[in-house]
Amino acid sequence: MMPPTLAKSFHLLRVSIGTVLVSGLLSLLALVSLEAQENPYIVAYDHNLEEPGSLEVEYFSTFGTQRGGPGFHAFWGEFEYGATAWWTTEFYLDGQTTFDQSTLFTGFRWENRVRPLKREHFINPVLYVEFEDINEADKILKEIEGHDVEADQAVPNSISRQQVVREIELKLILSSNYKGWNFAENTLAVKNLSNQPWEFGYALGVSRPLALKGAAHRCNFCPQHFIAGLEMYGGLGDRASFGLHDTSQYLAPGLVWNLPSGWTLRIEPTFGLNGNSHQFLLRWGVSYEISAFGRMVESLFKGRE
């Protein structure tokens, strides 16, 4: 007889492998893939949008420990589509396993990013609008807002799952590319649609590829395919009590590996900076870019020429 913790771990592994296999299957359907050039950020956004007609299928995981509660594994899938060169739309499905409790689907999100300016500037704004329909058991920590603290997530799944949260999230993304470096600054404002005050948060990111020049031959391990970065994010309180008090704050160094085959792998150990934050989170993600997706869909609705 397997101990319950081990059984949970195996279940978790099965879920993760299943998700990776589904992503792999989708990739087989793809006629063409192209190398993505993703930054290592998991929370912060830069101003680079998805190429038009490309679909990026992504899977992310967050393993977390909690004082005053069991550890958890939160996971989410993202489908990111470049509708045009200035508009990217993205759909998320979230879930989590809290060890010794349960595994559950926690909701969906739909986000849109629009680039209002036609050209590249020293600072490039992107407008972000997201609708979330999740429950309180959601633990993906994709953004930290208001007075979100570690203790919020110690509530058992059986209780927290009953509380539905519908929110509109607005972000102003500012980002610059300078001499190979990327600097991203995000400010966010979130409104719970059930008469809660506006909540605020931020995310900052800096990153740089390990090499700026491309290699003269096709290679997987060339340094230009690796981008290292650091992000910092946290809550800024709400409309009634704006500021850093009673908020959680995180610092996260990250590394992304953009493979020429279209696969991208990310890893980001995350450290809590104050007593309200999780002490440690381990985040990782895998994604695959299907560059010909738009064309494939178009061909479904068009006759042969």
CB of 126 to another protein, least distance (A): 11
- What does the longest C-alpha to C-alpha distance in the chain come to? 64
The token pair that represents 252 in the structure block? 């996260």
Q: Could you tell me the smallest distance in angstroms from the CB atom of residue 130 to another protein?
A: 22
The nearest distance, CB 212 to another protein, in angstroms, is 4
Of the pair 95, 209, the CB lying nearest another protein is at 209
**Residue 222 phi, psi dihedral angles, 5° rounding:** -65, 145
46 token code pair: 């830069």
Binding site for another protein (CB under 8 A): 32, 34-35, 37, 39, 46, 48-49, 51-53, 82, 84-86, 115, 118-120, 177, 179-180, 182, 209, 212-218, 224, 260, 291-292, 295
The answer to whether 97 and 76 are in contact (CB under 8 A) is: no
Distances (CA, A) of 237 to 52, 191, 285: 36, 12, 29
Nearest Cα to 186, choosing from 76, 38, 42?
Answer: 42
Shortest distance, CB of residue 35 to another protein, whole angstroms? 4
* H or E element at residue 42: none
Question: Minimum CB separation from another protein for residue 121, in Å?
Answer: 9
**Which is nearer to another protein, 195 or 218 (by Cβ)?**
218
For another protein, which is the closer residue by CB, 100 or 298?
298
Nearest to 78 by CA among 259, 264, 249: 264
13 versus 85: smaller Cβ distance to another protein = 85
